[in-house]
Structure 1
């Protein structure tokens, strides 16, 4: 296999160094979900490491905050930041009951039926921006998105017939899945591949507080997706003789790191046990197979291959000395640990309001009960909540449907008292609140159609003390998973530091680029490579990564720090970021001493204070 990988990379490197513009130009975007940059090496991920050594390795990378899958998928797909797409988390508040999510007001969006519901409710396109796959097929290119349920569909989420873009994910061949065209069905049959995607099997087992989670990587399901890409889709695209865009979204290592059973209840090894390492190798083998297929089918010299991860990853902590919820007793929750939905439970307790479960028909929750999916409706009436908590993991979203400023201040004061909180961001509509920064400071205040959060809560993070702290980060997480398993979503540098690289005719060879880069930049760069003109409705966008392109210019960049006014207890939310022109890249944020990677120097001329 190593010989095949090397041969494939040589072909791609030669194409990248030849002066002529190859035609047609193809793009393969490979996403290794949840892959940490510091874990990419010749030992752990030889195909990925070799690709970036031959082409471009971005060394100053950024996942968009909140550092979740669906937000970053929309950034890649559209080139827009989250306040334009409205994809503020994997779980958001939609303000209407979602049929595909059991009539919940806080749906989890990694679902083909749920994405159809939100599109139908928000003018046919909930993102309110055009995706690169939709623009590409409108210009006659072949398009496909294959892999993990949810983010794969986002790249052409309004094309649900199966006749335009090819979509193959967990739901393929099952109720609610996007249908397969007859053309693709024939190709799958000829390749001996079933028309129904396999499940995750043992890899999908998260375990309990008493039973460890999985010790198996997601090999079978991803083997199927890789077979679909290499044995059916690429040959189909070659036969068509047109340029193409292929997105491959590898669930590993993310899914395995979430569910791994190597570290139940323990922070070490956490997400660095043998099961997580096997998941990294699994994703890398998928990439190697795609590279080999491009070479064997004569497509390597005309194809740009871009690799990224949507976010980094951390080990889960469930510890707090200040939480009321952690003092209560719950079935299935170790004594003294935070239960799922602790943020909603603590807010309801501190504000003296009732708590209801939006994912259980608005059922009222009494002592000893926590929300089934960690989300919460807070107030007197679940049909008209005063606050809504959309729980996501390393950060949570708090909505105030009525925009009550007084209640917002009380909520901020309650949140700031918790030791698991590290930084608060609030809507400008609530007015300035000491100890917080505005959502606009982190590009979360834009033209979105979906409801905008009133408060974004970042959770505390730290490292367990390894040589590269971003590979052994820990974060408090509002999740049903256990302490010692894996999560992301925080403003820790362990979560904002993702993987980015590229090789092919459009890209320079042997470049290590220190210029800040983000997932939003990928959408803009792919559009440039393919010559796509995509008018934007929102203004918060990424940039073209010219420094990585053949004959492209290298921009300058700067670092800066933004600080809030202190609250009554002296807490200050601090944001460390970088800029390339008007484009901002967020490194880490929170309360100093509570966020991994927030190594903020003393104020200087480059620093701002709000």
Structure 2
């Protein structure tokens, strides 16, 4: 077990390899991670939280809570007020420091409504830092901002200001005070032009250099225990934009560019470990390596979607445009559709919202329906709480071949074929608007031998078929990599028990002797079985099945439990979600 409260706790580094699928890690693809998992603890039954998006799971890492408490339901949410940092949109994309700052201010100073591990560590005088991808990095210290924060926005008026001491040390280390851009790695291409063919090496080299040559030495000099977050944009950013597979499902996100991105993240971890050795910190630092979510290749095919039957200037014929869900709902309700990310411009036939989001109704300021498009799943909001309208939307969704599972706010009533938000821990103490319906999209695999390595999802995304996305309830998206290593953890141990990203936040707090003052009850657990002297927990399995819809469809959830803590493996309609199994005798 970790040091007692009377002793000095060991340091913690949380390394997040964004979008890293667990079955992709081996000695050839990611030798540093593979070796760390082999010599420390490999958590082979790990879980991202649904919706499997970055800021949503960052909120779980940061607070130890499920999304029903943090209110970060996806990368894009409905804010119910125009966010000026997002161009006045009511559907802000949260991977932005100024957007998070404005959303925080609107929701009593902290939209997560829970304390983060960095804030708790600061209260005890410990050192804190967060380095890497903008948005999730900022979230760990969104209140108070006492940590060293270095991200994409560093050096700009949108970034967290660096202290003079940090600036001086950056200069002494030969590092720029302005973070480099992604360069060619940020090129996504279009339906005619392939995206990037290079990993995010330049930007991440800057982050790794800043962490190893500036931040870690400063944390050591402070003379107190510390917690540092390092958020590697790769492999996520590269898997999204890769140009290896334009229009094709194979190789999809398993081409050479994606593999280079996995190695890029692995190399950054190797640099951090080498720096710990050089600084004499290796024996007193626990390293938690994980990912916010898995990943899948994008499909844009549907035989039922009205949106796919229209023609668009920038979409291959017969393919789903970005915003297909908003378009299909607006058509089904015979209501106007406007784009909240384009000054609420009306969307006519042959047009689509530029980011997929939509406000539906005759008054843009009082919409009947809001669609927050995210990728492998979307969120639908009904600002009026209209139960009759909810029923119409559900019936329309049940007719679409791209849908695989619906989760509805129980305040709207019970609908055959659907389960509730509460069934998947999306109904808690959140202060942000709660979705009316969470829509999971269909997933399958390309038959590569290990389904979770080659998953495919229908994605409501500006990206193209053959590129990469996540967000679904497919096991390819929920099965993130996770491994622990360090003085408080066992050596050479494979943990078969289920774990989740909420457990990571809880476990870090435990290692550092931090005590959260929880507002919500949807929390992870401390992974004590991974610690020295820890015992294996009792694990149970459970499947939840909805009543059948008029067409026989049933939303099914496969889950595991440790005590009252829930772990969601996969969910959706049987036959439409990768990794989902349905019992022969369902219970409602």
- Shorter-chain TM range is over 0.9
- TM-score by structure 2 length? 0.99
**By how many angstroms is 1:24 displaced?**
4.8
Name the residue aligned to 2:337. 355
**By how many angstroms is 1:20 displaced?**
13
Q: Deviations over 1:428-475 (max 9, x none)?
A: 111111100011000001110000000000000000001110000000
**By how many angstroms is 1:22 displaced?**
7.8
- CA distance in 1 between counterparts of 2:100 and 2:427 reads 22
- TM-score by structure 1 length? 0.95
1:271–1:486: 8 Å Cα contact kept in structure 2?
yes
Name the residue aligned to 2:306. 324
1:25–1:303: 8 Å Cα contact kept in structure 2?
yes
Q: Does residue 108 of the first structure (1) align with residue 93 of the second (2)?
A: yes
- CA distance in 2 between counterparts of 1:193 and 1:397 reads 41
Name the residue aligned to 2:41. 56
Once the two structures are superposed, the pairs formed by residues 584-595 of structure 1 within 5 Å of their partners are 584-595=566-577
Once the two structures are superposed, the pairs formed by residues 115-134 of structure 1 within 5 Å of their partners are 115-134=100-119
Q: Does residue 519 of the first structure (1) align with residue 501 of the second (2)?
A: yes
1:23–1:302: 8 Å Cα contact kept in structure 2?
no
- CA distance in 1 between counterparts of 2:41 and 2:125 reads 29
Structure 1 pair 20/359, CA: closer, same or farther in 2 (3 Å)? closer
Q: Deviations over 1:31-55 (max 9, x none)?
A: 0000010110011001000011111
Question: Which among 290, 295, 298 is matched to residue 272 of structure 2?
Answer: 290
1:68–1:89: 8 Å Cα contact kept in structure 2?
yes
Name the residue aligned to 2:161. 179
Q: Does residue 423 of the first structure (1) align with residue 405 of the second (2)?
A: yes
Indicate the SS of the match to 1:28. Answer: strand
1:22–1:301: 8 Å Cα contact kept in structure 2?
no
Question: Which among 110, 113, 137 is matched to residue 122 of structure 2?
Answer: 137
Indicate the SS of the match to 1:489. Answer: coil
Moved more, 332-341 or 180-189: 180-189
Q: Does residue 26 of the first structure (1) align with residue 6 of the second (2)?
A: no
1:592–1:598: 8 Å Cα contact kept in structure 2?
yes
Name the residue aligned to 1:42. 27
Q: Does residue 609 of the first structure (1) align with residue 555 of the second (2)?
A: no
Once the two structures are superposed, the pairs formed by residues 183-582 of structure 1 within 5 Å of their partners are 183-582=165-564
Name the residue aligned to 1:154. 139
- CA distance in 1 between counterparts of 2:377 and 2:180 reads 31
- CA distance in 1 between counterparts of 2:79 and 2:9 reads 41
**By how many angstroms is 1:129 displaced?**
0.3
**By how many angstroms is 1:361 displaced?**
1.6
2:3–2:10: 8 Å Cα contact kept in structure 1?
no
- CA distance in 2 between counterparts of 1:107 and 1:19 reads 43
Indicate the SS of the match to 1:560. Answer: strand
Unpaired stretches in structure 1, ≥5 consecutive residues:
1-15
Indicate the SS of the match to 1:77. Answer: helix
- CA distance in 2 between counterparts of 1:466 and 1:522 reads 31
1:22–1:505: 8 Å Cα contact kept in structure 2?
no
- CA distance in 1 between counterparts of 2:296 and 2:194 reads 18
- CA distance in 2 between counterparts of 1:240 and 1:75 reads 28
Unpaired stretches in structure 2, ≥5 consecutive residues:
none
Indicate the SS of the match to 1:609. Answer: coil
